Amino acid sequence: MDDTLILQRIRIASAGKSRLISLCCNMVTVNGAKTLNLGDDNYGIDAGKPANLIVLDAEDCYDAIRKRAAVRYVISRGKLLAATVPAKMSFYSV
């Protein structure tokens, strides 16, 4: 098998994983809200909506799942309820 074919297969596998992770994120966010019948007035980030959300320590959905990202902030009705301080690592000379 030549290198071009191997790289092509890697790209296809990566694209499939990315799509799967995107579907998983939508399952617990957008589709979860639909299942709970929250409606457009009570779900999403927009002016006038209730602002109930969590902020994860991740750059995107893939990173959140891969790292099992910690919850950094919990916000309910626009008010900060909880904040997690990231762990700090210190190095010492031996």
* pLDDT-above-70 percentage for the chain: 82
| pLDDT tens figures, 24-43 | 788 877 777 788 887 777 77
> Exposed, middle or buried by CB within 10 Å (0-12, 13-18, 19+), for 5?
exposed
Predicted TM-score of the model (pTM): 0.63
Look at residue 5 and tell me whether its pLDDT is greater than 80. Answer: no
Question: 74 with 81: CB under 8 angstroms?
Answer: yes
